């Protein structure tokens, strides 16, 4: 039966190997420095950077302070072994947005009526809809655009009004397209980066290669992000 220290070291070594590969096996860069560098580029490393740096110190204590070849002076707690195993899995086998956020995305054509959209909101409970003109993506339609349009057009008829008339009320930077192979942490990072810049992203739209002309495979909303982070 493996001791906790052996399981910990095995997981740590696999993490270290993965980080070295991501650094193109650059020589002269230790584990701690690699973590600090990759924190800028790798959202998973950024998420666990403090843990990884602490585990590097624990690794050193285990490896350098063994009382003999069979006994480690520091024996990690079960929870530490479980946590580093989780980090290893997320670094070496990161979850990607498909199939996690795979779903049928309700979309509309620009000449569809507002009343048609409101029916879909009522039936599906969704409030964010991609809009196309034939196959050309025109924007992400949200309830905020409807609210702004109604404020300016109090007596207009929803049955006669088409989405194309309301789209100018929609902020055109409220979405990003991402590929199906985008990691979940990269998706979270996009939301966070935009928030730090003062921009609100309502949704990430997922296609095969992140190309707006491709078929939609799924959608990630701000609500999805909040639910995932609270898990």
List pLDDT tens digits, range 40-97: 888 899 989 999 999 999 998 888 766 555 555 678 999 999 999 999 999 999 889 9
Q: Please state the three-class secondary structure of 152-211 as a single string.
A: HCCCCCCCCCEHHHHHHHCCCCCEEEEECCCEHHHHHHHHHHHHHCCCCCCEEEEECECC
Q: Which one has a higher pLDDT value, 1 or 10?
A: 10
Q: Is 124 strand, coil or helix?
A: helix
**Residue 163 neighbours by CB under 8 Å, 6+ apart:** 108, 109, 110, 111, 112, 113, 114, 117, 131, 141
First-last CA distance in the chain = 32
pTM for the model: 0.75
Per DSSP bridges, beta strands 128-133 and 203-207 are unpaired
Position 1 scores a pLDDT of 40
Q: What is the pLDDT of residue 147?
A: 87
Range list for CATH 3.10.580.10 in the chain:
99-229
State whether the Cα torsion 211-213-218-220 is positive or negative: positive
Q: Determine how many CB atoms are found less than 10 A away from the CB of residue 195.
A: 12
181-216: per-residue pLDDT in tens? 999 888 988 888 888 888 888 899 999 999 999 999
**CATH assignment of 99-229, given 3.30.450.70, 3.30.830.10, 3.40.190.10, 3.10.580.10?**
3.10.580.10
State the average pLDDT for the chain: 87
C-alpha 104/C-alpha 112 separation (Å) is: 19
Counting Cα atoms < 13 Å in the Cβ hemisphere of 227 gives: 6
Which pLDDT score, from 0 to 100, does residue 158 have? 62
């Amino acid at each position: 039966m493996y001791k906790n220290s052996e399981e910990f070291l095995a997981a740590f070594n696999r993490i270290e190997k993965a980080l070295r590969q991501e650094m193109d096996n650059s020589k002269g860069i230790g584990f701690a420095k690699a973590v600090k560098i990759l924190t800028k580029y790798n959202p998973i490393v950024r998420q666990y950077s403090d843990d990884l740096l602490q585990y590097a110190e624990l690794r050193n204590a285990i490896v350098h302070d063994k009382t003999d070849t069979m006994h480690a002076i520091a024996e990690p707690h079960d929870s530490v072994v479980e946590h580093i195993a989780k980090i290893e899995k997320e670094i070496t086998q990161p979850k990607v947005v498909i199939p996690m956020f795979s779903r049928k995305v309700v979309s509309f054509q620009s000449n569809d009526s507002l009343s048609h959209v409101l029916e879909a909101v009522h039936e599906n409970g969704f409030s964010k809809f991609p809009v196309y003109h034939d196959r050309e993506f025109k924007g992400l339609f949200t309830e905020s655009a409807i609210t702004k349009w109604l404020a300016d057009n109090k007596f207009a008829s929803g049955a006669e009004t088409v989405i194309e008339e309301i789209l100018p009320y929609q902020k055109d930077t409220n979405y990003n397209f991402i590929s199906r192979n985008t990691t979940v942490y990269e998706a979270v990072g996009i939301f966070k980066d935009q928030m730090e810049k003062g921009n609100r992203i309502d949704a990430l739209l997922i296609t095969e290669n992140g190309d707006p002309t491709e078929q939609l495979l799924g959608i990630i909303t701000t609500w999805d992000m909040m639910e995932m982070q609270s898990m």
